[in-house]
Amino acid sequence: MRCPFCQDAENKVIDSRESQEGSVIRRRRECLSCKRRFTTYERVEELAPLIVKKDGRRETFDRDKLLAGLQKACEKRPVSSDRLEETVAAVERLLQGMGEKEVPSSVIGEEVMRRLQALDEVAYVRFASVYRSFHDITEFMEELKDLLSERARERKPPRPPDKEG
């Protein structure tokens, strides 16, 4: 592991901790050359499925690409980096749990949208607008109407049963 500051390869581990439910090890390191400290993350490299895109192309699952998309959707929103990392880790676990060699990109997109809707509705709409490729404002407004009606259903208290008598 090279120091990000001076590029020297000699460093020592000062502290190691598990994070993200034990799936990642966080290590604090100190460069033996410049004495600066930096953090690295270590995770098991698992065989990720190929993602089948809408146009039929196949590419390997890229957690960094997914994280970047989530960060873009959550830009200037009150969503922590830890929550985004948890979301990416949950999507990764879902894909690995499926045990499939190939997974349609729509599976990832729908799962991300479901999770974003619970995290931040504005980020959800941002992500949905790119993911769903709305062709016009009408499609966009339909998505917003669905979101608003769902929110109204969640907030409306249940009606008491009618009394007969």
**String of DSSP letters for 127-154:** HHHHHTT--SHHHHHHHHHHHHHHHHHH
Task: For residue 164, tell me if it sits in a domain.
Answer: no
pLDDT for 165 equals 47
- Whole-angstrom Cα Rg for the chain: 21
In the chain, the number of structural domains is 2
Please state, in angstroms and rounded to a whole number, the distance separating the CA atoms of residues 140 and 127: 12
Domain extent, residue 104, equals 47-155
Q: Can you give the pLDDT at residue 117? A: 87
- 61 & 119 share domain: yes
Q: Assess if residue 24 is contained within a domain.
A: yes
> Do 105 and 26 have their domain in common?
no
For residues 160 and 8, give the distance between their C-alpha atoms in angstroms, rounded to a whole number.
70
Same domain, 96 and 118: yes
pLDDT tens for the 165 residues of the chain, in order = 899 999 999 999 999 998 766 778 999 999 999 999 999 988 776 667 899 998 999 999 999 999 999 999 999 999 999 999 999 999 988 998 888 899 999 899 989 989 998 899 889 888 887 877 777 778 778 877 887 787 777 776 555 555 654
Q: What is the pTM of this model?
A: 0.60
- 161 in any annotated domain: no
Alpha-carbon distance of 118 to 147, in angstroms, equals 11
Q: 118: how many CB neighbours lie within 10 A of its CB?
A: 9
The verdict on 82 and 65 lying in the same domain is yes
For residue 50, CA distances in Å to 94, 101, 130 come to: 14, 6, 21
In the block, residue with structure tokens 């998505």 = 143
Question: Which DSSP string corresponds to 54-110?
Answer: TTS-EEE--HHHHHHHHHHHTTTSS--HHHHHHHHHHHHHHHHHHT-SEEEHHHHHH
**Residue 34 near residue 6 (C-beta atoms within 8 A):** yes
* 102 and 79 in a common domain: yes
